[in-house]
């Protein structure tokens, strides 16, 4: 049995304090086989984390990924090669862009009313590979349950992700596989487990975002 946290943010996201090195350290501590670093609209954090993992010969798979904002909500692309700019693009257009890179399409927190859940507006797309059925930052678990019901009905892979913006959150929700992640997502054989993160982590990430906006995020020195 192997565990992957498929929704982690690094400090390449404006609202996260996780350095790539901290992510890898916590992933090892939590016994994770792999992680997907899904920064907002960029794969820079993924690339840096993968680079450090390779340099240290860590037995952790780092998946290049991004949480992409579209006109209709957010979508995560797994196994990306290049960054995708979803600005002014529809959900469907971004899904096609992910598929052109031979990536996998995952919908995060699809029904959470506090965030831009792509499925709240009734979107369906046959190219979706997995649904995040447990997101540790969804404060009311009924929205995770709704995502699970949707994934079961549409026969989509179950994805667990912590949506970590701080080190203590990493591994709070995971996707469980037996062998190859990509294959098991495609074959809808994944399982999940997770717990809800404490409320105060939301206050931390909101404070980080406010501070960086105030002082100019483009001037923020992202550390490895």
The 10s digit of each residue's pLDDT in 23-67 is 999 999 999 999 999 999 999 999 999 999 999 999 999 999 999
Closest CA to 173 of 190, 155, 150: 190
Give the DSSP letter of residue 168: G
Please check the confidence at residue 7 and state whether its pLDDT lies above 80.
yes
Q: For 147-157, write each residue's pLDDT tens digit.
A: 999 999 999 99
pLDDT at residue 121, rounded to an integer: 47
pTM, full prediction: 0.94
Domains present along the chain, CATH in parentheses: 2-219 (3.20.20.140)
Closest CA to 40 of 194, 163, 171, 189: 163
Q: Rounded to an integer, what distance in angstroms lies between the CA atom of residue 150 and that of residue 156? A: 8
Please check the confidence at residue 122 and state whether its pLDDT lies above 60.
no
CA diameter of the chain: 46
């Amino acid at each position: 049995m192997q565990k992957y946290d498929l929704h982690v943010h690094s400090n390449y996201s404006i609202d996260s304090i996780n350095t790539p090195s901290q992510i890898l350290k916590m992933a090892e501590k939590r016994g994770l086989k792999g992680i997907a670093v899904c920064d907002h609209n960029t794969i820079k954090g993924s690339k840096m984390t993968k680079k450090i993992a390779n340099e240290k010969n860590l037995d952790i798979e780092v998946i290049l990924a991004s949480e992409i904002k579209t006109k209709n909500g957010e979508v995560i692309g797994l196994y990306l090669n290049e960054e995708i700019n979803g600005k002014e693009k529809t959900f469907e257009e971004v899904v096609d862009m992910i598929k052109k890179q031979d990536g996998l399409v995952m919908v995060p927190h699809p029904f959470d009313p506090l965030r831009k859940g792509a499925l709240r507006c009734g979107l369906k797309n046959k190219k979706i590979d997995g649904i995040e059925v447990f997101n540790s930052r969804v404060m009311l678990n009924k929205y995770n349950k709704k995502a699970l019901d949707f994934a079961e009905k549409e026969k989509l892979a179950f994805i667990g992700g912590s949506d970590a913006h701080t080190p203590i959150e990493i591994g709070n929700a995971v996707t469980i596989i037996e062998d190859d992640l990509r294959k098991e997502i495609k074959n809808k054989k994944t399982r999940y487990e997770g717990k809800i993160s404490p409320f105060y982590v939301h206050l931390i990430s909101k404070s980080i975002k406010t501070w960086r906006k105030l002082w100019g995020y483009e001037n923020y020195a992202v550390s490895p």
